[in-house]
Amino acid sequence: MEFTKINWPGLGCSITAATLVALSILYAAPWWQVAIGDGVGQAEISPLDYKANLAGASIEIPIIWFLTLVGKLTMAACTVAMFIHSVSTQKPFSKHLLGFAYKKPFLILVLFIVMLVVSTYMVGTFFGVNVPLTGTITLSLFFGGATAKIPISTSFTWVFWLAVATAVLAIAAKIYEWKVLKT
């Protein structure tokens, strides 16, 4: 194997994508999380996993399990295809593998961000409170003559930034193949 013929960004992408899949399977590692009060409720969300509970009750929506399975399979397929492409760039099938793999991490990331923005917008529409993608707000609720002030904190985790790195490396792998390996 010639080192100059390896698609290094592609190899990096396959490693980070494999890490994302492993983190999901082993720890259900979220990309974004929301915490309500001090343990009143929380949601840990990524395109590969979903976990939410409110007041001790787990909120399970079956379709989300299937959608996160799509996310896991897509990322796993990307990992395998990108790895094989990266170490065999001179093979005739290699270009097809790159075409198959390079858009997937980027699409998953974009869909995830769009879903987050839409979800927070819908929460704002229904509850009249603008939940930031990252930060803390206090939601005021009035019920039965009582007033409740509920702190809500949201944040991206380091796994999200690993997903960003994976998407960037995937695009870089395509550019590398186009600008460096082809010449």
Partner 1 sequence: MNIGTILAAISIIIVVGPIAAAVIMYKDNLIALIMPDIEELTDKIGDYFPRIEYVGYEIIDPESSFRVMFNVTNNSDEDLTFNTINFSAYCSQHEEVLLGYGHGEDFPLTISGRSSGILSLYVTCTKEGQTHIETHHRGDANFHAILKNVLVVVQGVEVELGDEIDVGPIEIPP
Judged by CB under 8 A, does residue 74 bind partner 1? yes
Residue of the chain from 40, 113, 129, 162 that contacts partner 1 (CB under 8 A): 40
| Choices 11-19, 126-134, 140-148, 172-180; region in contact with partner 1 by CB under 8 A | 140-148
Q: With contact defined as beta carbons under 8 Å apart, do 82 and 13 qualify?
A: yes
Stretch of 5-13, 48-56, 129-137, 172-180 lying at the interface with partner 1 (CB under 8 A):
48-56
56 or 128: whose CB is closer to partner 1?
56
Q: Report residue 50: phi and psi, to 5°.
A: -150, 130
Chain centroid, CA 155 distance in Å = 13
Q: CB-based contacts of 38: which residues, under 8 Å, 6+ apart?
A: none
Q: Which residues contact 50 (CB under 8 A, 6 or more apart)?
A: 43, 44, 61, 64, 65, 68
Interface residue with partner 1, options 2, 146, 179, 183 (CB under 8 A): 146
Task: Give strand pairing partners of 10.
Answer: none
Q: How far is the CB of 80 from partner 1 (least distance, A)?
A: 10
Binding site residues, partner 1, CB under 8 A: 37-40, 54-63, 66-67, 69-70, 73-74, 77, 81, 93, 96-97, 99-100, 144-151
